[in-house]
Amino acid sequence: MNILFISYIYPRKSNMRRGMFVHQRVKYIMRKGNNVEVITTKGREDSDFEVMDGIKIHRVSAADSIFSGILFIKNALKKIIDIGRTENIDFILQEFVGVSTVFIGLLAKIKRKRFVLITQATKWELQFNNPVNRLFIKLAFALPEKIICCSNGAKHIISNVCNPRKMYVVNNGLDDEQLVPAKTSAKFREELGIKKGQIMILTVSNLMPKKGIDVILQAIPNVIKKHGNLKYFIVGEGNTEADREKLEELAGRLGIREYVRFEGKKIMSDLANYYNACDIFVVMSRDIGGEVESFGIVYIEASFFGKPVIGGISGGTADAVENGKTGYLIDSGDSKKIEETILALIHDRKLREKLGKAGKKRVLNGFLWKQSAEKLLKILNMN
């Protein structure tokens, strides 16, 4: 099939991790024998056209321009028409719903091209803050022939504005080719200064409030009282420097600064080292300010390395963590339960191994990008 894939967010030279999951989806769709081209935005260091992993990428508007949204719509429509003149397009796929979805969907109907929408159901996509936006969102969901949701939680979020007969769930996946540790667990733990027998708790996350890192920090003092031989590593950065500063200040006020390490942003191979070295993985996802967790790929990544996972109940986390089998899902407001769960895993190595083993098996059996691509293509080929 010839597929034209459109996404406002895609990896750029200045930030290769932003939208990397979109590129991974496209890469594995292509590997299934399909011709895929991408239309997206560009940063100052990017060219108008490039090839990444064999994928043709057309960058049609500057992502940092104040008129980026309008320019993206205008230039993306023009590029679709241009490509359509020389190539037969079987499907137009768009990742993320927005105003552009309406115009692209209308063009697809005019050109009689099959149009499918993929949504993460994020607050960024679903802006219902005024009647005009609500109208555009409803139109955006009405135009595609199929709507692919990244989780059952995402499907539930859009169920009141979308025809349920058009909705399908295809979970985001994991790229096992990229998530490869560069060092052994023992070597990396030694480099981190973790002593023999010391428990390493890990969070990999954006430092935004919906990830609930403040909730985890607040649980750590009581955990330390019963088991002080631990280190808590937080890998990731915030949208602003203030996000990290607030969490560092909280750790200081709680008197646990010596137990907590803020590691900042890491490349994929480094992330693999952290996952591989930790004993327990935790992110306390929560609904806050209209933000929910659309899926939670970090849970899947931790499970891939055979680690027990503690997650917060929010949006699509129930797809990523099988409660009681690969880890535990907890209400982020239940601080006592969070403490008890962390302590239970600290004190029971066999339980950690059991949950981790089940999680790894689950990921390998259905949460790799190549499997996600297969599911998506099967849905596309359905009449």
Q: Which stretches of the chain drop beneath a pLDDT of 50?
A: none
- Residue type at position 256: I
Residue 369 to residue 347: CA distance in whole angstroms: 34
pLDDT of residue 101: 94
pLDDT of residue 14: 87
pLDDT of residue 129: 67
Calculated CA dihedral for residues 110, 116, 118, 124, nearest 10 degrees: 20
pLDDT of residue 66: 74
pLDDT of residue 128: 61
- Determine the longest span between alpha carbons in the chain, in angstroms: 68
- Residue type at position 335: S
DSSP string, 230-274: EEEEEE---SSHHHHHHHHHHHHHTT-GGGEEEEE---HHHHHHH
State what percent of residues in the chain have pLDDT above 90: 83
Residue 338 to residue 219: CA distance in whole angstroms: 7
Residue 198 to residue 176: CA distance in whole angstroms: 28
- Residue type at position 312: G
Total-model pTM: 0.93
pLDDT of residue 2: 96
pLDDT of residue 378: 97
